[in-house]
Structure 1
Amino acid sequence: MNRAKWIWLVGLGLIYAGFWIWYGGNGDPLSEEEGLAMLAEVERVHGVKLEDTPEGSMSRNLRDMLPHDDGKEFYAVNLETRAEGPAALEVEADYAAIVMPLLLERGGHPVFVSERVGLMLGKYGGEVDRVAVVRYRSLRDLLDMIADEKMLEGNAFKTTSLAHTEVFITRPTITFVQVRLMVGMVLALIAIAGVAVIGSIQARRAHAATT
């Protein structure tokens, strides 16, 4: 394999290594001091003291998570009930336009979004319109995102679009969502195609040089 092909393959390898490191999911856990400081920043940005929030609020639940943080990725399962009226649907896109960039720059992204079409078992699901599963790189990234001042506008849109939402945090025991594998396979296909293109270009140049 000649130099041009090696440069191509090494370059793609470095891109994948950089993606692997950035995508993370196995970082250092938050210390209690760092976690409380981040929660204090959330309070400052949103203008709400933790002690003034009701039982079950995000601030209280996240504070309870701090002693158990392991620095690893997790998935938030959102059970959403839409508000009534056309305005609710209109602002959903506005909310996504704010939140998606904040998620992506911190290694987070939606994994699964689905509309309810019926019930199989139980009654609670009848109150749920949509289920969304979102990957977060770490609790640190989640707190950092919530403390971003852009979330103030995002929360306003969310409040308008949803009548109620329940969110709980999970770590999968079985999953077929392998983002690193998918990115690796895409880069592998690009690598093969690139090597073929480089070989073809070099072959044409060699043929032209001999004629």
Structure 2
Amino acid sequence: MTKAKWIWIGFLGILYAGFWAWYGGNGDPLTEAEGEELLSRMEQMYDLDRDEAPAGSMLRNLADMIPRDDGREFYAVNLETRKQGPEAIAAEEEYTGRVVPLLLARGSHPVFLSEPAGLMLGEYGNEIDRVAVIRYRSLRDLIDMILDPAMTDAREYKYGALEHTEVFITRPTLTFVQVRLMVGLLVLALAWAGLAVIGRLEERKSAGDSAQSVPLLGRDYA
């Protein structure tokens, strides 16, 4: 294999290793001191006391989760009831435009977005307009995003778009959402395509060098 091909493979290998490290999902759990510091910042930012926060509030639920954190990735399942009208649609678009960059900056992203098509069992589904599943790299990343000033500014648009939302956190026992595998397959496809292109360029260069080395008849009989 030529030097150019090794350089191409090495470049893609480093690129994928960097992606793997950034995507994470198996980091260190929050320490007690770190969790306490983050909760105190949330209390100050939202002017709330965790002991007085209402049941079901984000501050109360996160305070319960921190001692059980394992540092791993998880999925937040959002059950949303949306507001109607052009103002709500505009607020939703603005909120999405602000939040998605905050997610991606922390190795997090939406993995599923769907609207109900009917009921199979029960009646609670009648109150749900949309289901959204978001992958978070860690609990640390989730809280860091909540504390981001840009997220604080985006809250008004979330309230302008949603009538009500319920969110619970889960770790899948079975999933076919394999982002690392999909990116790895993409890198392999790029590697194959790049090697093919490099090979053709090298063949053309070799053919050109061979043509230039053939002596001209005029020169042979000069």
Superposed, 1:50-199 pairs within 5 Å as 50-199=50-199
Residue of structure 1 equivalent to 2:35: 35
Secondary structure, in 3 states, of the residue corresponding to 2:167? strand
Name which one, 1 or 2, has greater alpha-carbon Rg.
2
Measure how far apart 1:85 and its partner are: 2.8
Aligned-residue offset at 1:52: 4.3
- Structure 1 CA distance for aligned equivalents of residues 166 and 9 of structure 2: 46
Counterpart-to-counterpart distance in 2, 1:148 and 1:44? 13
**Further displaced range: 84-93 or 22-31:** 84-93
Report percent identity of matched pairs: 59
Alpha-carbon distance between aligned partners in 2 of 1:64 and 1:144, rounded to the nearest angstrom: 17
Q: What displacement does 1:89 show?
A: 1.3
The 2-side partners of 1:93 and 1:64 are apart by 32
The Cα RMSD (Å) is 1.0
Residue pair 1:26, 1:72 contacting (<8 A) in 2 also: yes
- Supply the distance in 2 between the matched residues of 1:12 and 1:43 (Cα, whole angstroms): 44
Unaligned 5+ residue runs, structure 2? 212-222
Unpaired stretches in structure 1, ≥5 consecutive residues: none
Query: How far off is 1:88 after superposition?
Result: 1.2
Q: 1:114-145 CA distances to partner (integer Å, 9 max, x unpaired)? A: 01121111100000000000000000000000
Tell me if structure 1 keeps the 8 A contact 2:12–2:187. yes
The residue aligned with 2:5 is 5
Distance 2:103 2:73 in 1: 13
Amino acid corresponding to residue 105 of structure 1 in structure 2: A
Q: TM-score, normalised by structure 1?
A: 0.97
Runs of 4+ in 1 over 4 A off after TM superposition: none
Whole-Å Cα distance in 2 between the matches of residues 146 and 47 of structure 1? 14
Q: How many pairs are equivalent? A: 211
- Cα deviations by residue, 1:21-75 (Å, 9 ceiling, x for unpaired): 1100000000111011112222233333334432100010000001100000000
